[in-house]
Amino acid sequence: MADFQEYLRPGARGHLIGIGGVSMAPLAEVLAGMGLAIDGSDMAESEKTQHLRDLGIEVKIGHSAMNVAPDIQFVVRTAAVHDDNPEIVEARARGVPVFERAEAWGAIMCDYENALCIAGTHGKTTTTSMCTHILMAAERDPTVMIGGTLPLLHAGHRVGAGNTIILESCEYHDSFLAFHPTIAVILDVDADHMDYFNSLDDVKESFRKFAAKVPENGRIVANLDDRNTMDALAPLGRELFTFGLSDEADVYAREIKGVGASSTFEIYYHGRLFTDVTLHVPGIHNVRNALAATAACICLGVRPNAVKYGLAGFNGAGRRFEFKGRYNGADIYDDYAHHPNELKALLDAVASLDYRRTILVFQPHTYSRTAAFFNDFIDQLCRADLTYLPEIYAARETNTFGISSADLAGQIPGSVFCADFAEIERALRAQARPGDVILTVGAGDVYRIGEDLAAQGGR
């Protein structure tokens, strides 16, 4: 079986399928920066495909066997590209090795002295973004790959010249097991992706294998407050570097004041004051994310002031309680939450912001997740003053469960199931008033509702 490492040399010729994707576009840029000859294909034009063209990387729109040039030596694909894709079929017919995206990133990180991998069922994008802010403040010039847009970077990635790479690391399909972390951060472990994992124990086993990839001279950073994390890592018999709200952790917080629009707190490291922090994103879950980022950066030898000023400059990542604008005096925010525990963290944070009413538009993500956590979703969706439910976003699935958002609406008093976004927008225009917060929530395309509404302003 081919090893991607052997292709990481100037002049090697590669083709990326789905090159406009959130982690494929930066992969193309990194590989080209290493001197490889890269081209690719995608289904549609986007800002990312145009950016790649501006860098001299050829991008074809649409998938065809002809896109695989005669001199291509390897192909990399996203998880969304299946074996029947004509470019995959062509590559395999010619004996050209086909690699998964995670395999490529795993090979690349071997060239860095420090590979900081942020994993967890929830909070990965935010914590990876916080680490990026801190390491930029520390002038470490990191290479970065985030599963969302970070305003500081005007993108979800950065190609740096330093000796550190920071990667958001996802457990789905065990993809992070292709990585080679020198520092692995485990934010939390929860039952999710039940279309792949059979049980919570399977999820724990995946995270345990990921942490076990850290060499003996590396560090495993773990959330002491999360029982599932500690249970998953205990069988390793390794020393853990912990963070949490309790002073039993290696890195912990004291004097937490306010978890609304901003909060202040002190960070302690091994019982001594490390720095004080002002955080401009709401919720106690973000205090924990900041502690995780601090612990990870302590492992990299970052000084207290870089943590202080790096976190002070962080105002959130794209689709993580992202302010979209206003309509008729109501504030509009968008959030990627698609698991009941993420919904809880979001609604807890919003409850601290003193809005008169919370209007929630929640788009469930995948039939399997909706079925697996049906009652848990109901518990959280009942908390909003008004709840609108568009149909489930199918993503990679077909509806073998016979489930609909209408089933959720039937269990939530006062909620409304809407067949299309236009119907929801009409309802929001009629309902919105000063003192309201409108939340568009989910991992699908529900953000479009808030963007359309904000574009109309007070009309």
Write the secondary structure of 384-423 as one string of H (helix), E (strand) and C (coil): CCEEEECCCECCCCCCCCCCCHHHHHCCCCCCEECCCHHH
Residues 66 and 127 placed together within one structural domain of the fold: no
Residue 4 lies in a domain: no
Helix (H) or strand (E) holding 221: strand 219-223
Cα→Cα distances 132→158, 239, 414, Å: 9, 25, 42
- Between β-strands 13-17 and 37-42, what pairing exists: parallel, antiparallel or unpaired? parallel
Residues 336 and 298 placed together within one structural domain of the fold: no
Residues 160 and 247 placed together within one structural domain of the fold: yes
Contact (Cβ atoms closer than 8 angstroms) between residue 283 and residue 322: no
Residues 163 and 306 placed together within one structural domain of the fold: yes
Residue 6 lies in a domain: no
Residues 342 and 218 placed together within one structural domain of the fold: no
Domain end marker among 38, 64, 99: 99
Residue 192 lies in a domain: yes
Give just the sign of the alpha carbon dihedral 297, 300, 301, 305. Answer: negative
Domain end marker among 48, 69, 99: 99
Domain end marker among 312, 331, 354: 312
pLDDT of residue 1: 57
Per-residue pLDDT of the chain (459 residues), as tens digits, is 579 999 999 999 999 999 998 789 889 988 998 899 999 999 989 888 999 999 999 999 999 999 999 999 999 998 779 899 999 999 999 999 999 999 999 999 998 999 999 999 999 999 999 999 999 999 999 999 998 889 999 888 888 999 999 999 999 889 999 999 999 999 999 999 988 999 999 999 999 999 999 999 999 999 999 999 999 999 999 999 999 999 999 999 999 998 878 899 999 999 999 999 999 999 999 999 999 999 999 999 999 999 999 999 999 988 899 999 999 999 999 999 999 999 999 999 999 999 999 999 999 999 999 999 999 999 999 999 999 999 999 987 999 999 999 999 999 998 999 989 999 999 999 999 999 999 999 999 999 999 999 999 754
Total count of domains within the chain: 3
CA–CA gap between residue 184 and residue 295 (Å, rounded): 11
CA–CA gap between residue 319 and residue 62 (Å, rounded): 28
Residues 372 and 444 placed together within one structural domain of the fold: yes
**CATH number of 90's domain:** 3.40.50.720
Residues 53 and 89 placed together within one structural domain of the fold: yes
Residues 364 and 292 placed together within one structural domain of the fold: no
Residue 224 lies in a domain: yes
How far from chain centre, in Å, is Cα 217?
Answer: 27
pLDDT of residue 250: 98
Residues 355 and 422 placed together within one structural domain of the fold: yes
CA–CA gap between residue 265 and residue 258 (Å, rounded): 9
Residue 105 lies in a domain: no
Contact (Cβ atoms closer than 8 angstroms) between residue 190 and residue 122: yes
Residues 160 and 300 placed together within one structural domain of the fold: yes
Residues 242 and 172 placed together within one structural domain of the fold: yes
CA–CA gap between residue 407 and residue 405 (Å, rounded): 5
CA–CA gap between residue 175 and residue 310 (Å, rounded): 29
3-state secondary structure (DSSP) of residue 455: helix
Amino acid 20 reads G
Give just the sign of the alpha carbon dihedral 136, 140, 144, 146. Answer: negative
| Residues 6 or more apart whose Cβ sits within 8 Å of residue 47 | none
Residue 2 lies in a domain: no
Q: Two tokens at 97?
A: 């090795």
pTM: 0.90
Give just the sign of the alpha carbon dihedral 440, 444, 448, 449. Answer: negative
Q: Which domain holds residue 95?
A: 11-99
Residue 210 lies in a domain: yes
Residues 80 and 202 placed together within one structural domain of the fold: no
Residue 236 lies in a domain: yes
